[in-house]
Each structure stands twice: as structure tokens, then as C-alpha cells.
Amino acid sequence: MFSRKATFKGGTHIPAEKNLTNSLPIIRMEAPEFVYLPLAMHIGAPARPVVAAGEKVKLGQLVAAAQGFVSSNIHASVSGMVTRIEKRYLPNGSLSDCIVIKNDGLDTMAEEITPGKNHGEIKAETIRQLLLDKGIVGMGGASFPTHVKYAPQKDGSTIDTVIINGIECEPFITADHRILLEEAENVISGLKYFLLASSAKKGIIAIEDNKPDAIEHLTRLTRDEPNISVVVCKEKYPQGSEKHLIYAVTGRTVPDKGLPSAVGVIVDNATTAMQTALAVEKDLPCYERVLTVSGDAVNKPGNYLVRIGSLYGDVVEKAAGGITGDIGKILCGGPMMGFAVGSLQYSVIKGTTGLLLFSQNSPLAHFLAEETCVRCGRCLEVCPMFLEPTVIAKAVKRRKWMDAAASDIASCIECGCCSYNCPSHIPLVQYIRMGKQFIMTGGSGGCNPLFKN
């Protein structure tokens, strides 16, 4: 075991707040009456529907096919009837077509899915094809199509290391922690398939030091695996950021605007590894995921195995025992990089790691008015990308898009360290997100309602 506490430069320390759910085992949620499957639930081109309203579908059946190389297949998460295809908003404000399926309650599995199916000799090409066919994407929140990472490198570079990201540095979220404990064998198997698919010789499972039980468990299970090691990382945010994790565990620096492959590394989330093992060994597509439901406004915080496409409201009612008190804030994802949403009418997608509900009495539900910058420099000290957040934010406020671009706004990973540490409560990361929208859309503002002309 590689036992040093690896870390990176910059970042900040945030109360973990994981005690509500980190000791609670995963519970399977009853499938809802309807599921809503967004066709743009992954990075890249939205999937193309291959079913129509009125058509019967079975559990795990392909209902939308990947369009282009950077895209992903989508599968039915229940058996039943396609009632319609409608447009719905995603938590990030974008609009997506959604396939709506009425659950027949039977969970009739699609005939093409055969658990225990023999894929023949497992070769790199076999795994890459399964990653595409089964709709595997990054399930730590990014939702990047996994098959793209393992395609042969166009520049001829080689991959020598695959890192499994078990950091989970967002406060409150514990889904990956439970996966590392309850599905460790599948996580390890998934890593082995990644090593085969990439021809890498070294596998690393990176875990933050606030998960000693997972560290001990994975270390024991990999003791006789000469090509796999567990690296213990220091608890610090954003330790789970791809580039910072690579630096922490390998000492390699990914070039600015470069990909991890530039330094011979691929990073995948622990849940993604587990899902890959299920695809290879049980022929299962990605139609459900584990997410954390937490906060002081739910009756039963916990980690729940939920069908993709379930509405947040169904998750809260069917899994978390409903709402307690008056809701002050709803977050999709963690409090640092998640999105605040105005209702529970959004659907769980492959990248949904958590759902947090806070009461009106919670400090996390309070909005603090922006004050004048006091030039303390805290945002510069904690920025893991060594940017000047105040300079970028000022350019955005003035609509000086070229100035914002020149200040390297594109390199911001939107971790929120700057906003968290700002004594003047300036929403720096929100201004930066805003600026990115304007730059990408040529000044129209994208779906940002605050600055539309």
C-alpha cells in the first residue's frame, strides 16, 4: 500500500458533514410510477430516441442511441409504456428532450440482457464496446462518456496508470463511500477491466483519509494484487478534482487545457468502475445508480439505489420518508459544485451523486448579501488553479468578455473555494460560470436569466 497522505497545492478545508449517512448501508428504492429520461444527461451530443410514444419497452432496453463519438446510449429503467417525449429542464438550467415511461410494475428484463452472458475472451475491444453499448458514463458528476476515455489515443501516446477516484470530497455526499464498502469487489474488477482496456500496467485506488474503513477494506482486498495499490489522500477540497488528484497521487502535472492522457493517466470514479464490472460480468446497462439524500429537511437521510429518471420528489417520498419542516433550499449534488433548484420536479440522471434538502432554519439555506471586496486575497490563496477570481468576476460584471477570457476563465474548475472563503460573500464562482456562458454563446448569455439582453 502506498500510504503517504497525498495532496495538492491550494484548496481549502470544509466541514465534511457526512455523519448523517456515511454509516448507513445502501437501500434499494421502489421504482416510481413514471420515469423521465433526459436525452442530454451526459456530456456531448444528446442521444437520439429509438422508441416512440405508445411503444412498450422492457427494463434495460435501449431507448436512445448515442449520436456521434462523444455521446452515450440510454436504456429504460423500468418496463412499461412510452407515454410521450417532452422537454424538461435539467438542474444546470439547460433544456432537454425526455422520454417518459409509465412503469408497469413488472420489471420485465429485455431479452438481449443475459446476466452471466459469456462475452467470449475479454479483450480491450470487448470492454470498449461494452462501455458504449451499456451507456457507461462518469458517475461522479461529470457524466463524460467512458468509452471515449479508453479509445486509442489519436496522438499515439500511451496510458500507464488508471486512477479510481474514491475521494468524494463534497460535503454530505457519501454514495461513493458506501460503494467502496459494499461493492469493493466490483470496484476492483472494474479497475482491472479499465487496465485491460487501456493497456495500463498500474492501477491506483485513491481514497481520502476521512474514510478509514474503506481504506482498510480496499487495502485488504488488493493485498495480493501486484498492479493495484491504495493511495491515502489528505482530506482537503477539491481533492477529487481530476487534475489535482493526478498530481497528488503521481506527481504529474496535466498541461493547461490538456487531458489526463497527456501524462499517461486515466481517471474514473469508483461508481463508474462498479458499473463497468456489472456491464462486463452481468451484461447490465446503466439504468440505476446510488445517490445520497441528506440534509435536515428529510426524514430519513441515507444512500439509495435509484432508477435513472426518477423524479426528486419520488426519491424523497419513496426512499427518504418525505420532507420534515419547511424547505429552505434544494441542492442537486453537493453544496460546493451542485446546483440549487426550485422544485423536486427534476429527474435523477447518471451523474446525480446526491440530493440535499435544507430547512429554512439551516445556515446553508440563507443567502448572504454581496458586499464590497476588501482585497484580502483569500480567493487567490485557495484557488487550486492559481487564478485571480476577483479579476475574472469584475470583468464579467462589466461584460468585458475578452478580459475575462484573457484572465484564463476557461481554466476555472468551478470548485467554489473562492466563494466559500470570501469574507464579503461575493459569489465569485457564480460570476465565473456566468462569464463562461456568455463567452461560449457569443454574448447571448445561454440560459442565464440575469444578464440576457
Other CB atoms within a 10 A radius of the CB of residue 344 amount to 17
Q: How many C-beta atoms surround the C-beta of residue 24 within 10 A?
A: 16
* pLDDT tens string 268-308: 999 999 999 999 999 999 999 999 999 999 999 999 999 99
Amino acid at 195: L
Query: Which amino acid is located at 192 in the chain?
Result: K
Q: Which pLDDT does position 152 carry in this prediction?
A: 87
Q: How confident is the model at residue 4 (pLDDT cuts 50, 70, 90)?
A: low
Residues 252-265 have a mean pLDDT of 91
Q: Which of 205, 201, 266 is nearest to 232 (CA)?
A: 205
**In the prediction, which pLDDT does 92 show?**
86
Q: Model's pTM, two decimal places?
A: 0.93
pLDDT in the model for residue 1: 40
Q: Is the pLDDT of residue 64 over 80?
A: yes
Average predicted confidence (pLDDT) for the chain = 93
DSSP-derived secondary structure letter, 33: S
Report how far residue 60's alpha carbon sits from residue 74's, in angstroms, rounded to the nearest whole number. 9
Q: Is the pLDDT of residue 104 over 50?
A: yes
Tell me, what DSSP letter sits at residue 83?
E
pLDDT at 451: 54
Helix/strand/coil (H, E, C) string of 391-407? Answer: HHHHHHHCCCHHHHHHC
List the chain domain ranges.
Answer: 2-25+116-282, 31-103, 288-365, 378-440
pLDDT in tens, 153-171: 777 779 999 999 999 999 9
Cα gap 93→72, rounded to integer Å? 20
What topology does CATH give the domain 288-365? Ubiquitin-like (UB roll) (3.10.20)
**Of how many residues is the chain composed?**
453
Cα–Cα distance measured from residue 334 to residue 49, given in angstroms and rounded to the nearest whole number? 31
The CA distance from 354 to 290, in Å, is 9
pLDDT tens digit string along 335-391?
999 999 999 999 999 999 999 999 999 999 988 899 999 999 999 999 999 999 999
Q: Domain 31-103 belongs to what architecture? A: Beta Barrel (2.40)
Q: What percent of the chain has pLDDT over 70?
A: 95
d(CA 103, CA 89) in angstroms, rounded, equals 22
On the question of pLDDT at 205 being above 90, the answer is: yes
The values of phi and psi at residue 208, to 5°, are -75, 150
Alpha helices in 183-287 (DSSP H): 184-198, 212-221, 242-250, 270-282
pLDDT higher than 90, residue 452: no
Phi, psi of 430 (to 5 degrees): -70, -40
What is the reported pLDDT for 238?
Answer: 96
Beta bridge partners of 347: 311
Partners of 289 in beta bridges: 306
Q: Is the pLDDT of residue 445 over 60?
A: no
What CATH superfamily is the domain 2-25+116-282? NADH-ubiquinone oxidoreductase 51kDa subunit (3.40.50.11540)
Predicted confidence (pLDDT) at residue 67 exceeds the cutoff of 60: yes
DSSP percent split of the chain into helix, strand, coil, nearest 5: 30, 25, 50
- What is the per-residue pLDDT for 90? 94
